[in-house]
Chain A
């Protein structure tokens, strides 16, 4: 699964993209965040306030309770500030 990070999430994680093998028992966006937080201090820091982080599953906005299924690409980012 490809993971993408944007804005300050990217800065805190330290990179923009990576391919990961997600454990089989990780079923939702929230569970994916919980698993990511165990991957090192930079992830624990980036996802410390998980409730403010937004996610997109295959380039569609997704809530934290959304199933990740067999998604190819999941992105994490702060609330958007364009316009």
Chain B
């Protein structure tokens, strides 16, 4: 399942909802991405983060990535929640939850979903701080993390 929203999410409540009424799940993995207050070494240089996205394409792209994960691993459930709008340091940004009968599939699928989300889902971050506003630049290490998965059967 995929949700794009401005409001916060509750990790515990999301996992409970995903597991509700099911006894076939043996492993649940969750990843939560949060707003840091620093871009480099110095703390406190980010006071606000604004997330922009491409409505329509974002949902399509996330659904495609989720479908690819379900093809690769025996997942019983998965969830991607991504916030947009203006956030503060410490706020939640993204939640990925994967559930499977065994831990390997849940761990690997969660990592795969995050790696692909970071390089394919059309979101853009702008950081604000004492020295002004700045669009966050994409990292080559994120591309490398995604390329790792495309050795067998690329998702995109």
User: Which chain A residues have a beta carbon within 8 Å of chain B's beta carbons?
Assistant: 4, 6-8, 56, 59-61, 75, 77-83
Contact A83 B138 (CB under 8 A): no
Contact A82 B123 (CB under 8 A): yes
Cα distance A75–B51 when bound, in Å? 17
Contact B117 A7 (CB under 8 A): no
Chain B positions 139 through 156: 1 when the CB is less than 8 Å from some CB of chain A, otherwise 0: 000000000000000001
Which residue on chain B has the smallest CB distance to residue A4? B54
Contact B138 A82 (CB under 8 A): no
Contact A6 B118 (CB under 8 A): no
B93 to chain A: which residues have CB within 8 Å? Answer: 83
Known interface pairs A78-B135, A81-B124; A7-B56 also in contact (CB < 8 Å): no
B52 an interface residue at 8 Å Cβ cutoff? yes
B135 to chain A: which residues have CB within 8 Å? Answer: 7-8, 78, 81
User: Which chain B residues have a beta carbon within 8 Å of chain A's beta carbons?
Assistant: 33, 51-54, 56-57, 60-61, 82, 93-94, 114, 117-126, 135-138, 156
Which residue on chain A has the smallest CB distance to residue B134? A8
Which residue on chain B has the smallest CB distance to residue A59? B57
Measured CB to CB, the closest approach of chain B to A35, in angstroms, equals 22
Known interface pairs A7-B135, A8-B135; A80-B124 also in contact (CB < 8 Å): yes
Cα distance A44–B123 when bound, in Å? 24
Measured CB to CB, the closest approach of chain B to A56, in angstroms, equals 6
Contact B138 A56 (CB under 8 A): no
B54 to chain A: which residues have CB within 8 Å? Answer: 4, 6, 56, 59, 75, 77
Measured CB to CB, the closest approach of chain A to B81, in angstroms, equals 12
Which of A7, A8, A75, A83 is close to B33, meaning CB atoms less than 8 Å apart? A83
Contact A56 B57 (CB under 8 A): yes
A79 to chain B: which residues have CB within 8 Å? Answer: 137-138
Which of B61, B125, B156 is close to A81, meaning CB atoms less than 8 Å apart? B125
Contact A83 B124 (CB under 8 A): no
Cα distance A83–B137 when bound, in Å? 13
